[in-house]
Amino acid sequence: QVQLVESGGRLVQPGGSLRLSCAASRLDISRYTMGWFRQAPGKEREFVGAISRSGVSTHYADSVKGRFTISRDNAKNTVYLQMNSLKPEDTAVYSCAAGNMFYDTTAKEYNYWGQGTQVTVSS
C-alpha cells in the first residue's frame, strides 16, 4: 500500500522557520510531481507549491512565494517543505501529494496523499 508520511509540524512563533518532510513508501516519487497543500480550520484546501520530477522546477502560491521552498531527494524518496518567516495565517494542516501535472494546482489532479502534519504559528 502506497504511503506518504509527513513530519516536522509543530508550534512555532511568528517569524520562525520549520522544515516539513514527506517520506514515501511503495511509491517511486521520481515518477511524480510532488505537491504540498494546506488546510486551515473552516477553510478550503489550498495549494502551497509543487516540484517537478527532477526537482529542477518549482512553483508556489502567491501567499508563500519567497518564504517557502520545496526540495526533493529522489534517492531518499522524500520531499521537503522549508518554511521561513512564518505568519499566523500559515497555521494549517500541511499535506504532501503525488501527481502527474506539474502546473496544475488543483487537489483532484493528485493521486496519492499523506495524512498531514499540523503547523501552528502563534506567540
φ, ψ at 91 (rounded to 5°): -60, 125
pLDDT at 40: 96
Residues 110-119: tens digit of each pLDDT: 999 999 999 9
pLDDT at 2: 87
Q: Where are the beta strands (DSSP E) in the chain?
A: 3-7, 11-12, 18-25, 33-39, 46-51, 58-60, 68-73, 78-83, 92-99, 110-113, 117-121
